[in-house]
Amino acid sequence: MTAKISYVDVEVGTELPAQNFTVTRATLVRYAGASGDFNPIHWNEKFATEVGLPDVIAHGMFTMAEAARVVTDWVGDPGAVVEYGVRFTKPVVVPNDDKGALIEVSGKVAAKLDDNRVRVDLVATSGGQKVLGMSRAVVQLA
């Protein structure tokens, strides 16, 4: 599969479709099982607060992966993402209720690079706070 987006059709400033992702405690349990990361800060409220967190928090890699979905959904091929990195700035706090937490992600093309590649900058927030910093992907376009 190749990227469905053409380099010539993309301009700096092109906005990717924003997406919202809900994360609940059940989501965290499923992710822990898939990833093997059973750190109690991701499921045990008592432990999380004892180590200074406000509550149970989402796995950083889960948050990072959800943000990347904005890019992979836009480009149409996860393999087109040739670089991706973030800095974790704030945790996604996941309350023990039916609503969970909301991760809001937007992105835009920040630069056109050589070899039909673009740099996409992402903004990920939860609870009104930026949860990822320096969130950038380099994408190989058609």
Domain of residue 86 covers 7-23+58-140
What is the CATH classification number for the domain harbouring 109? 3.10.129.10
Both tokens of residue 16? Answer: 């990717």
Nearest-angstrom CA–CA distance, 129 and 139: 26
In a domain, 43, yes or no: no
pLDDT digits (tens, 9 = 90+) for 106-129: 999 999 999 999 999 999 999 999
pLDDT digits (tens, 9 = 90+) for 9-43: 999 999 999 999 999 999 999 999 999 999 999 99
In a domain, 37, yes or no: no
Instruction: Give me the residue label for tokens 């092109």.
Output: 14
What is the value of pTM for the model shown?
0.94
